[in-house]
Amino acid sequence: MKDKVEQLVDYIMKKCLWQFHSRSWDRERQNKEILTKTMQILCDEPVEKETPTDKCYWVDAVCLADAFKSRYAWLAAMDKVEIKLLMQKLKDRMDYLTVTGSLNEELNDPHY
């Protein structure tokens, strides 16, 4: 499982732009919203996309889910419970790398 999580982290780090917003509260929200919606897409669950804000997160989630499915064949062999666990571990790892373990001293600046 750890190896799988690292493969997904590697993809996000190399290909995405949404995980490095400038403040910790932004990064937490980005990680939570986009990775939750990605998990819902991968598990065929309904996704909130009625407001412009949700729609914007959903857009990144659609592209991420497509990329995961096309690049990582092992994903197709996992059941929904396993995918949920995988995505939770992915979110925990992203939170660590970009928020709680980050060395970026500007993350907690109270203003934009």
Partner 1 sequence: MPYHEFECSKCIPERKKHAVIKGPGEDLTSALPLGYLNTIPGSISERGCAYCGAKHVIGTPMKDVIHMSHGPVGCTYDTWQTKRYISDNDNFQLKYTYATDMKEKHVIFGAEKLLKQNIIEAFKAFPNIKRMTLYQTCASALIGDDINAIAQEVMDEMPEVDIFVCNSPGFGGPSQSGGHHKINIAWINQKVGNVEPKITSDYVINYVGEYNIQGDQEVMIDYFKRMGIQVLSTFTGNGSYDDLRAMHRAHLNVLECARSAEYICNELRVRYGTPRLDIDGFGFGPLSDSLRKVGLFFGIEDRAQAIIDEETARWKPELDWYKERLQGKKVCLWPGGSKLWHWAHVIHEEMGVEVVSVYTKFGHQGDMEKGISREVAKKLRVPYLNAHAYHNGPWKGYEGWVRFARDIYNAIYSPIHQLAFVDISKDEIATDTKFVTQKILSDGNVSEEVKSSNELREYTGKYDNLTTIREKTYPEYPLQKKLSVV
Q: Which residue ranges make up the site for partner 1 (CB under 8 A)? A: 13-15, 17-18, 20-22, 26, 49-53, 55-56, 58-60, 62-63, 96-98, 101-106, 112
Tokens at residue 109, please? Answer: 């600046």
Q: Is 76 exposed, middle or buried (0-12, 13-18, 19+ CB in 10 A)?
A: exposed
Nearest distance from C-beta of residue 1 to partner 1, angstroms: 18
C-beta closer to partner 1: residue 7 or 84 = 7
Residue 43 has φ and ψ, to the nearest 5°, of -100, 10
Nearest distance from C-beta of residue 81 to partner 1, angstroms: 28
C-beta closer to partner 1: residue 3 or 79 = 3
C-beta closer to partner 1: residue 15 or 80 = 15
Nearest distance from C-beta of residue 76 to partner 1, angstroms: 22
Backbone region of residue 109 per phi and psi (left: phi > 0; alpha: psi in -120 to 50; beta: other values): beta
Cβ contact 73:21 at 8 Å: no
